[in-house]
Structure 1
Amino acid sequence: MKGNKTQFMCFLFALIAISVLISGCTDSYTSQSIQTQEEVTTVTITDALGREVEIPASTEHVICSGVGSLRLLTYLEAQDMIVGIERGETTSTASNAKPYSLANPQFATDYAIFGETRGQDDPEKILSLDPLPDVIIKTYSAMGYDPEELQEKTGIPVVVIYTGDLAENRDELDLSIRIIGQVVGKEERAEEVISFFDEALEDLDTRTEDVAEEDRPTCYVGGIGRSGGPQGFQSTEATYPPFLFTNALNVAYGDTNINVADVSKEKIIEWDPDMIFLDLNTIECGDERSGVSLLRDDGSYSQLQAVRSGNVYGVLPFNKYATNFGSVIADSYFAGKTLYPDRFEDVSLEEKTVEIYTFLVCQGDEEKGREIYDSMINAYDIPAFTKLDV
């Protein structure tokens, strides 16, 4: 009898142990199931191509492929979410004149490279990133993999944006900012950035829209950089944004043969503008082609009234790995203050530019904004926003 009782007690203890073990496994399995379910929770967004892309409901890690995408991510104060970088974004020297890059020197040193310049991605390198990106934000262009193909090769959702601009393609820019905001959970910041652009452009227009025709000096901008790199004095832009936003009389505007292109020396001499602005990136062309050198040394250009009267000014380059929109706005205020000084008497160009960089790329850090301002103004041997000695 005593032996039977002992056997029964042993059986009871074994049964309890098995129950506890099963219960623990069940709890563990249930927890794992919930976790797995949370990991695969997704939302569907529509990208700039109109594609419906399924992405994680909570995105933690991304990469930015192609010109302009990392810039917009930085505007949304989400640059810390990247886990890799393309080669075109690894340089942060002042001469590159990219404020978002200057404000984030870690881009050049802290991340693995997943592809070459201008969106030429390497799927194998993307899949070697640790941690893996939840989403690839890609500027759509003819270079590199098609978004669908890249998504198929990596198994990672690819969300397409366009670079857009502040003028003719403003809708594309706003849409892209909002799409990135959706991806990284920065919808409110996206609207703040869009409003910031709206307010600046409205202010510029309000100050200049009613200037009488006879009080508007004619102007020309030379040395406009393009995707091929720095350009000489004859490279101009008929729709140069700082002139558009200040209602200026751009001598190249209206010529259907000009967008961003070289014009002939004869054409510039024929236009004979009252004021000349030089994109200081032209200095990188060297003495033979630099706009500064040509205005100093070419006898034909020395006869231009702008040169003879000393009305030649240096402006910030903004075409660096697509458009740096903060520098566009800063150049616009400089153009307005130079062309119509009475309309901009209350504007301190330094304070305005610091404000722009502080908001867009420095996460509200004014001290850092001043550092970026100093770096940009002094990116070349000749300071920007000054009258040039030609």
Structure 2
Amino acid sequence: MKGNKNHLMVFLFALAAVSILVSGCTETSTSQSIQTQDVTTVTITDALGREVEIPENTEYVICSGVNTLRFLTYLEAQDMIVGIDRAETTSTASNAKPYSLANPQFATDYVIFGETRGQDDPEKILSLDPLPDVIIKTSSAMGYDPVELQEKTGIPVVVINTGDLAENRDDLDQSLRIIAQVVDKEERAEEVIAFFDEELGYLNAQTEDIAEEEKPTCYVGGIGRSGGPQGFQSTEPTYPPFLFTNALNVAYGDTDINVADVSKEKIIEWDPDYLFLDLNTIECGEERSGLSLLTNDDSYSLLSAVETGNVYGVLPFNKYGTNFGSVIADSYFVGKTLYPDRFEDVDLESKTIDIYTFLVCEGDEEKGKEIYDSMINTYEIPAFTRLDI
């Protein structure tokens, strides 16, 4: 009888212990569940006017489409990405981008979640580890619709319009500020915006009072497009380095000109005093490149700029969107070339290094020098030099 009582006591003790353990596990599980669901959010307005609810403390993001990762790098938040789109995995000469050159890990360390220009893959996004808290996406008619992408992934999608440094400057500033809200970099965004203001303000101040009759005429050829490198007849009537230095672009204001195609006859008719060549044109090959045409085409040999040796190579800046630092560097080169007395105090190499150091190198001047060397020497002919025609 005594033995049975002992067995009963052991059984009851064991039952109590199991009950306590189960109770403890249940409480812990409930606590974890509540913690997972209790995420503080904030609402921001994206470029489409959508109110998007995102985590207050965003840790991880992905960047879809042109300029998004570039802007994230300008904001010094590139380490927050957990995946990459395919366009960011190459850093060859034909795809030289300062922000990528400064971050070679883009090409090697990240899983690809989609194709170029916003062609996202929801399944690949959901397989990322860790999952992004927010998807930052360029507004575009191409690629996944942002609302549909958000519905398929359950991840907030914040849209930006990339803008530019000229007519669409407000969009550019807004893009930086929207991304800054997502990644908690508002102060840095204002620094970048102020940097652009200061550089463009200086360029304008040095050139705005030059009389029209004192300005030489100029033309830029070989402007690359989304379709790839182009020949000498590819120009840009609103070429930013000419706009920012108040230069006389012979193609400006001619409404009959297709932005990507000017006739040879038109260029000969204009006969500009200075020619600039986007060195990306070299990739067209011997038969089509602007450099080859200027060298071998007898019609072009009669141009005043060719006869006087006023033909110069400039940095390409149309690479998966606009490399804004290279736009500013090209502007300083154009300014020094057209109006040397107005820019005699500017050391172009130091200025370009400073630009890259600030925008993509987090203040690391040695890295800024490396990016400068890489960009200037992307092709066999260095940029910012007189071309031997």
TM category (shorter chain) comes to over 0.9
Query: Which residue of structure 1 lines up, in the alignment, with residue 158 of structure 2?
Result: 159
1:97 CA drift (Å): 2.1
Query: Which residue of structure 1 lines up, in the alignment, with residue 385 of structure 2?
Result: 386
Query: Which residue of structure 1 lines up, in the alignment, with residue 65 of structure 2?
Result: 66
Verify the 8 A CA contact 2:60 2:81 in the aligned structure 1.
yes
Specify the SS of the correspondent of 1:314.
strand
Whether 2:35 is the aligned partner of 1:41: answer: no
Query: Which residue of structure 1 lines up, in the alignment, with residue 102 of structure 2?
Result: 103
Specify the SS of the correspondent of 1:354.
helix
d(CA) in 2 for partners of 1:141 and 1:330? Answer: 28
d(CA) in 2 for partners of 1:320 and 1:16? Answer: 69
Query: Which residue of structure 2 lines up, in the alignment, with residue 177 of structure 1?
Result: 176
Specify the SS of the correspondent of 2:275.
strand
Verify the 8 A CA contact 1:93 1:102 in the aligned structure 2.
no
Superposition map of 1:47-196 within 5 A = 47-196=46-195
Query: Which residue of structure 2 lines up, in the alignment, with residue 258 of structure 1?
Result: 257
d(CA) in 2 for partners of 1:97 and 1:344? Answer: 27
Specify the SS of the correspondent of 2:353.
helix
Query: Which residue of structure 2 lines up, in the alignment, with residue 367 of structure 1?
Result: 366
d(CA) in 1 for partners of 2:252 and 2:243? Answer: 9
- Aligned residue type for 2:76: E
d(CA) in 1 for partners of 2:331 and 2:21? Answer: 72
1:30 CA drift (Å): 7.1
Whether 2:32 is the aligned partner of 1:28: answer: no
Specify the SS of the correspondent of 2:182.
helix
Deviation sequence 1:123-181 (CA, Å, 0-9, x none): 11111111111111000111111111111111111110111100010011100100000
How many matched pairs? 387
- Aligned residue type for 2:107: A
Specify the SS of the correspondent of 2:193.
helix
Verify the 8 A CA contact 2:65 2:137 in the aligned structure 1.
yes
d(CA) in 1 for partners of 2:267 and 2:135? Answer: 45
Query: Which residue of structure 2 lines up, in the alignment, with residue 324 of structure 1?
Result: 323
Unaligned runs of 5+ in 2: 1-5
Verify the 8 A CA contact 2:125 2:131 in the aligned structure 1.
yes
- Aligned residue type for 1:150: L
Deviation sequence 1:270-310 (CA, Å, 0-9, x none): 10000000000000001111111111100010000000000
1:261 CA drift (Å): 1.6
Verify the 8 A CA contact 1:94 1:375 in the aligned structure 2.
no
d(CA) in 2 for partners of 1:91 and 1:195? Answer: 31
Identity %: 84
d(CA) in 2 for partners of 1:22 and 1:95? Answer: 63
How high is the TM-score relative to the length of structure 2? 0.94
How high is the TM-score relative to the length of structure 1? 0.93
Verify the 8 A CA contact 2:94 2:283 in the aligned structure 1.
no
Verify the 8 A CA contact 2:223 2:280 in the aligned structure 1.
yes
- Aligned residue type for 1:149: E
1:258 CA drift (Å): 3.0
Distance 1:13 1:351, change over 3 A: same
Verify the 8 A CA contact 1:237 1:258 in the aligned structure 2.
no
Unaligned runs of 5+ in 1: 1-5
Verify the 8 A CA contact 1:239 1:259 in the aligned structure 2.
no
1:202 CA drift (Å): 0.3
Verify the 8 A CA contact 2:216 2:274 in the aligned structure 1.
yes
1:215 CA drift (Å): 1.7
* Structure 1 ranges of 4+ moved more than 3 A: 9-31
Distance 1:266 1:329, change over 3 A: same
Deviation sequence 1:179-227 (CA, Å, 0-9, x none): 0000111111111111110100001000110112222110000000011
d(CA) in 2 for partners of 1:26 and 1:147? Answer: 39
1:353 CA drift (Å): 0.3
Specify the SS of the correspondent of 1:333.
helix
d(CA) in 2 for partners of 1:314 and 1:253? Answer: 20
1:93 CA drift (Å): 2.3
Specify the SS of the correspondent of 2:117.
helix
Verify the 8 A CA contact 1:207 1:344 in the aligned structure 2.
yes
Query: Which residue of structure 2 lines up, in the alignment, with residue 334 of structure 1?
Result: 333
- Aligned residue type for 1:207: Q
Distance 1:14 1:288, change over 3 A: closer
Superposition map of 1:182-261 within 5 A = 182-258=181-257, 260-261=259-260
Deviation sequence 1:244-283 (CA, Å, 0-9, x none): 0000000001111336221000100010000000000000
Verify the 8 A CA contact 1:242 1:329 in the aligned structure 2.
yes
1:32 CA drift (Å): 2.7
Distance 1:44 1:315, change over 3 A: same
Specify the SS of the correspondent of 1:117.
coil
Query: Which residue of structure 2 lines up, in the alignment, with residue 273 of structure 1?
Result: 272
Specify the SS of the correspondent of 2:385.
coil
Verify the 8 A CA contact 1:222 1:277 in the aligned structure 2.
yes
d(CA) in 1 for partners of 2:93 and 2:290? Answer: 20
Verify the 8 A CA contact 1:358 1:369 in the aligned structure 2.
yes
- Aligned residue type for 1:66: G
| RMSD of Structure 2 on Structure 1 (CA) | 2.3
Deviation sequence 1:8-41 (CA, Å, 0-9, x none): x99999999799769856873675366235x521
d(CA) in 1 for partners of 2:170 and 2:213? Answer: 33
- Aligned residue type for 1:203: Y
Verify the 8 A CA contact 1:92 1:107 in the aligned structure 2.
no
- Aligned residue type for 1:189: R
d(CA) in 1 for partners of 2:256 and 2:151? Answer: 42
